Structure formats: C-alpha cells, structure tokens
Amino acid sequence: MIVDVLVLAALGAILGLDVVSFPQAQISRPLVSATLGGAFMGNAGVGLLCGVLLELFAHETLPFGASRYPEWGSSSPIAGAAAAAGAAVGSVPMSLLFAVPFGLLTASLGGWSMVQLRQLNARLARRRLDALARGSARTVAGLQVAGATADLSRAGLVAMLAAIVALPAVRWIAVQPAPMSVYAIPMLASLGGAVAAGAAWKMFHSTSGTRWFGLAGLAVGALLVSLMSRG
C-alpha cells in the first residue's frame, strides 16, 4: 500500500506538471493518465473505462489562461488506479461509481491548488521585480525552476493525499454487496455523455457550418450504435 501510494504520487506529480508547467503534451488528460494509473495497478482496461468517463466530463473544462479549471493530471491517475484496485477485489461498477466522482472531486481540489501556486509564483516574482528589471539571467531562470518545482510538489501532494484516501476506500466499497450496482455504469455514462455533448455544443455552435457536421456525425454514430448493439 505504501509503495503504491508513493509511486502513484510520483506519477501524479509528473502528470500534474504537464497541465501547465511542462511540457503540456496532454499526457495529463484523463484518457491517458487514468489509463496509466489503472495499468500501474494491473488493469489498464478498467483504468481506460475510468479515463473515458472522466474525459467526457473534461470537455466542459478547457484550460483557458487565467481561468480556474479542474486539474486532471494529478487526479485522473489516482481515479484510474482506484478503479483498477477496486476491480481487483470486487465489483467493477461500484469501483467506478466511487472512482469517477472521487476523480472529479480531486480534480477540483487540484484546480484550487493551482490557484494557490499561481499566487505563490506571483509573490516570488514580485519580490524579484528589481532583479528582473536589472536583467538578471539567474533570477529569470530561478523563477522558472522554482515555479516548476513548486508545481511538481503541488501535484505530487494532491496525488498522494488522494491515493491515501482512495485506495482503502475503494477496496472496501467494491466488496460491499450492492444489488443496484447494475445501474452504476449506465448512470455514469449518461452523465458523461450529457456533459460531453453539451460541452461540444458550447464549444462549436458559434462556428459556421458546425451544425451540419454535428448532425452528420450523430447520424453516423447512431447508425454504428444500432449495428454494433445488434451484433
């Protein structure tokens, strides 16, 4: 358990750093990071299920500049790992029913911690404005390194706290007999589908012609669903 928490904290730190500081390659997206968390716990497939659900929600929260948004990099690997850890001992639906909202909650906490980090960076920069005005290369590089280090620590701390709570909780929840758990995944899928579809409309509706592309996509999607569901 301790090793799991430490490794997941390190994974969360690296993926959390990707969100803003370095390198912004979107390895922090839930689709990737929850799958990695699941793979670490031995079940990439369940990690992917959790990642897909979180990814559907993530479309609503785009990382625009100074806006406050959930931070998926440190939260999603823990959610994916929790889903996989629960699936290893009990029910997949109940594991996901815990892991997905827990991932959303942790992402929200991560978003708050990013605001604190930006305020810390501002304080550090304010104290060094004189050195910056003198053109000190050491100060410029120092602020970058300090910011990245603080971000790495922030994400690692969020991930570690989340893993400490999530792993024992999901192992308990997954083994509880819950006859209604059959509704868990359809409910999460409905919520995720609703949020992603609503977000797609919000993002794209103001661009000319997108309505027809959306309708064409829906027609293809509906056709594929009807064919594959029968199959």
Partner 1 sequence: MSGASEPTPPAAPPIAAPAFPFRTRAAIICRLFAVQASWNYEILIGNGIGFCVEPALRLLPGGAGSEEYRAALARQSQYFNAHPYLASFAVGALARAELEGQPPARIERFRTALCGPLGSVGDRLVWVGLLPACSFAGLLLFGVGATALTCVLVFLVMYNAGHVALRLWGLQMGWEKGLAVASALGHPILREGPVWLARAGTFLAGVAVPLAVMRLVDGGGLARVGLTLVTAAAGASALVLFHGRVEGWRLALLAGFAALVLFLFRHA
Pick from 227, 195, 157: which is nearest to 61 by CA?
195
Q: Smallest distance, Å, CB 74 to partner 1?
A: 16
168 counts as binding partner 1 under rule CB under 8 A: no
Per CB under 8 A, the list member of 88, 109, 124, 164 interacting with partner 1 is 124
Q: How far is CA 72 from CA 28, 102, 181, 223, in A?
A: 6, 12, 26, 32
Q: Which of 28, 35, 74, 75 binds partner 1 (CB under 8 A)?
A: 35
CA distance 32 to 80: 10
Choose between 73 and 147: whose C-beta lies nearer to partner 1. Answer: 147
Q: How far is the CB of 146 from partner 1 (least distance, A)?
A: 7
- Using CB under 8 A as the binding rule, the residues of this chain from 170 to 229 that contact partner 1 are 173, 176-181, 183-204, 207-211, 213-222, 224-226, 228-229
Q: Under the phi-then-psi rule, with left for phi > 0, alpha for psi from -120 to 50, and beta for the rest, what region is 146?
A: alpha
Name the residue nearer to partner 1 (CB basis): 10 or 124.
124
CA neighbor of 110 nearest in space, from 53, 54, 56: 54
Q: Are 55 and 31 in contact (CB under 8 A)?
A: yes
Q: Which of these segments, 7-15, 36-44, 82-90, 156-164, binds partner 1 (CB under 8 A)?
A: 36-44
- Residue 104 CA to residue 96 CA, distance in Å, equals 12
Q: How many residues in the shown chain lie near partner 1 by CB under 8 A?
A: 115
Q: Which is nearer to partner 1, 9 or 48 (CB)?
A: 48
- Smaller CB distance to partner 1: residue 168 or 221? 221
What is the torsional sign of CA 30, 196, 95, 47? negative
Residues numbered 51 to 110 that lie near partner 1 (CB under 8 A) are: 52-53, 55-66, 70, 94, 97-98, 100-101, 104-105, 108
d(CA 135, CA 116): 27
Fill in the per-residue mask, 131 to 150: x = in contact with partner 1 (CB under 8 A), - = not in contact. -xxxxxx--xx-xxxxxx--
Q: Give me the count of residues in the chain.
A: 231
